[in-house]
Amino acid sequence: MSELMEYKCPACGGKLEFNSGTQNMKCPFCYSEFDVAAVQEFNHAVQSSDESLMTWDSSAGGEWGAGETAGMNVYHCESCGAEIVTDSTTAASKCPYCDSPVVMTGSFAGDLKPDYVIPFKLDKKAATEAYNKYLEGKRLLPKIFRSDNHIDEIKGVYVPVWLFDAGADANIVFKAEKENRWHDNEYDYVETSCYSCVRAGKIAFEHVPVDGSTKMEDKLMESIEPFDFKDVVKFETPYLSGYLADRYDVTAEESIDRANERIRTSTIDTFRDTVKGYNSVTTESADIRLNNSKAKYALYPVWILNTSWNGNKYTFAMNGQTGRFVGNLPTDKGAAVRWFAGITAVCTAVLYGIQFLLNR
Amino acid sequence: MNIRKILAAVLVPAALMIPFSVIGTGTAVQSPMNVSAAYCEEEDFPVLDMAEAADYDIAAEETVRTEKEKKEFSPARAFVISLIISLIIAGIAVGVMISKLKTVRKKHGAADYKKEGSFVLESSHDSFLYKKTNKTKRSSS
């Protein structure tokens, strides 16, 4: 009975061979030599943390009660395909995402009932003020955009999000390097010492949101985060009054990958912060296992502002709870060139003058 | 009684300040000429032998050479250096201005949603793997 053992080179990942002369493990690819015990420990740590287990209980949302959806209407946007839900007191005429006309397709039915909602805390006036303030101090914003631009419609939309809660058990291997530099008369020397740093522990995340609508751009929704869960309430239909609500078209299962990516990134970052005293730290492997993981369905408040300029559409969003305002603005390329040339000219003159005075 | 206390409060600090103010005034009125004259009177100049005098000459020559180099100001070189640094500064400044116009970004992780006090580091172990040394020839100055 024989078992072929293979050890990975910590430096280049190649297959190591035992060097009988030095009694060390030697890499035939990068010619590095390692102590046998160090190689065993490194390979054991990496192998035991090669696979992550990130599964979820995604049974989010509830069933609507009898009569709860009776006064709710669904509007369809022929242009982008968005489906907007309103209560009987709120009429929708334009799509909040693409500003195209919407048509009522009938009464609301099906779908899951949201578990939670964060009610709007800021009104339309606050959104308009935030937009005007956002345009201030932007030196490269085309002046004509500022003067000609009028936001025709500002819409308060409840955007569907899936909220992920989980505890994470992590076992992460980092590769860290320490540098020591010196020189003699002929050479500069850089000595790099490489270490394997194993960190294990626990961390938990609460209410990590993932956008449940394809119509709401994911980046736009993430840019207005964070939402504060302290204001969350159990969902009731009266909260929709006066606002639009988007229907989810991305399921909880489809949102898991993004939730895992965000949790994994922050878990690794948190453990990396404990690796101290090195010049550089890289992640070698990460085993992250989730526990008590569950998803919930919620509606988050967003003010959406659309405008067109020079044939392009610009969408801005404001967090309806915290007031955080985001949106990409056009750049005045001429102004950018003028600023670049101006700063270059002034700095050149000043630096030249300083050099002249110092050498007098 | 009160008048005494007030007088004491004013006069004692004033009296304590007198020596400092006198020293300060004295230092201010003493001219550099007076200082050097006083130094000359107090100290004798050392007598140098030939070897020491030669050392002083070399040192003096080096000082003159350094000052000459300093005076050899190359306008073209100074302009090019200034221009390169300015281009970098302008690039950074305009880059910052452009970044203010673009605020829609994907979130890096879920740091905002970490449960407070949930992070527990259960094991932490650093082990040495290997060491490598690179040497590069120094450029001759």
Residue A132 and residue A223 in one domain = yes
Domain membership of residue A270 (yes or no) is: no
Domain membership of residue A281 (yes or no) is: no
Cβ of B39: how many Cβ atoms within 10 Å? 9
Residue A9 and residue A125 in one domain = no
Residue A224 and residue A246 in one domain = yes
Residue A345 and residue A324 in one domain = no
Residues of chain A contacting residue B134, judged by C-beta atoms under 8 Å apart: 189-190, 192
Burial of A110 (0-12, 13-18, 19+ CB in 10 A): exposed
Distance (Å) from the C-alpha of residue B80 to the closest C-alpha of chain A? 9
- Are B110 and A199 inside 8 Å of each other by CB? no
* CA–CA separation, A221 and A218 (whole Å): 5
Residue A230 and residue A84 in one domain = yes
Say which range, A41-50, A206-215, A222-231, A344-353, has the weakest mean pLDDT. Answer: A41-50
Residue A150 and residue A84 in one domain = yes
Confidence of residue A178 (pLDDT cuts 50, 70, 90): very high
Residue A16 and residue A83 in one domain = no
* CA–CA separation, B55 and B69 (whole Å): 21
Residue A135 and residue A42 in one domain = no
Domain membership of residue A103 (yes or no) is: yes
* CA–CA separation, A102 and A81 (whole Å): 9
- Read off the tokens for A254: 């489809």
Domain membership of residue A259 (yes or no) is: yes
Domain membership of residue A179 (yes or no) is: no
What amino acid is encoded at A27 in this protein? C
Check CB contact of A333 with chain B, cutoff 8 Å. Answer: no
Domain membership of residue A356 (yes or no) is: yes
Residue A16 and residue A127 in one domain = no
Distance (Å) from the C-alpha of residue A70 to the closest C-alpha of chain B? 36
**H-helix or E-strand containing B23?**
helix B2-29
Residue A35 and residue A115 in one domain = no
Domain membership of residue A53 (yes or no) is: no
- Structural domain count, chain A: 3
| Confidence (pLDDT) at B90 | 96
- Are B83 and A336 inside 8 Å of each other by CB? no
Check CB contact of A54 with chain B, cutoff 8 Å. Answer: no
Residue A35 and residue A154 in one domain = no
pLDDT in tens, A190-240: 999 999 999 999 999 999 999 998 888 999 999 999 999 999 999 887 888
Q: Containing domain of residue A36, as a range?
A: 1-48
Domain membership of residue A177 (yes or no) is: no
pLDDT in tens, A143-165: 888 877 667 678 899 999 999 99
pLDDT in tens, A260-276: 999 999 999 999 999 99
Residue A16 and residue A120 in one domain = no
Closest CA to A61 of A242, A253, A320, A290: A253
| Confidence (pLDDT) at A112 | 78
Check CB contact of A345 with chain B, cutoff 8 Å. Answer: yes
| Confidence (pLDDT) at A75 | 80
What amino acid is encoded at B82 in this protein? S
Asked whether the predicted pLDDT for residue B29 surpasses 70, the reply is no
